[in-house]
Amino acid sequence: MSFLKLTVAYDGTGYAGWQIQPASPTIQGALAQAWLRITGEEPNFSASGRTDAGVHAEAQIVGVETQSTLSPWRLRKGLNAVLPEDIVVRLVEPAPTGFHATYDALRKTYRYQLHDGPAPPLFDRRYVWWWRAGRLDDLQMGQGGERFVGRHDFVSLQSLGSDRSTTVRTISNLSVTRTGDRLDITVTGDGFLYNMVRTIAGTLVEVGRGSKPPEWIAEVLAARDRSAAGPTAPAEGLVLASVEYQTA
């Protein structure tokens, strides 16, 4: 037996999220079918994050234990030959014995993508939230985002439906950058609650449109109440960008 680490990218538009669900197409389900076709094995995958319906990934990390003797290069080639065109295995590499993509992750980076131009986006329309109500103030959003950095109880940013032993997380970096009509909110942390990044995005939009000042973010965190934060931003703007692991 050997352990492998897969780096997988996908367009989540047509899927009900990562995790297998009955009667719904999922990323895990498509990858499992492809793995069975190439190796003859029914895999038990671990994933760095269970992305929700409509959420995308540039570098979802997947761990798997296998008896296959195919080389990583041949596994990647074979999987990409049978996977749907909106899922790509970017890399297959050996992993340490016992590797678990969920529990061994140190930090994850998500990027939330907005478009605030006067005309709707075209080529990236499935990957951004089009804010139709006028130009957002990215400088104010960046100042608000600085208040999220550090170790906090993020219960105000968690949607209902998740059972976690603690809602305390550490955000090590949050930036808001503009390129033309495109705004990217990039967040790195040691873990994220259910819909946390999408709620951070929706909350910062409240600042960007002038409804709230940057200092309001501190009040949101202190309230420990979901109703104190902004709306949950749409799923299509969210991308799992990268995952960090301990290097040997």
Q: Which of 52, 116, 138, 184 is catalytic?
A: 52
Active site includes 52? yes
Q: Are 185 and 204 in contact (CB under 8 A)?
A: yes
Binding positions: 110
Q: Which amino acid is at 192?
A: F
Binding positions for substrate: 110
Q: How far apart are the first and last CA of the chain?
A: 20
Distance CA 79, CA 39 (A): 10
Please, which residues have CB within 8 angstroms of residue 76's CB and are 6 or more apart in sequence? 89, 91, 92
The C-alpha torsion from 129 through 117 and 175 to 48, rounded to 10°, is: 20
**Burial letters for 105-125: b for 16+ Cβ neighbours within 10 Å, e otherwise?**
bebbbbbbbbbbeeeebeeee
Tell me the catalytic residues. 52
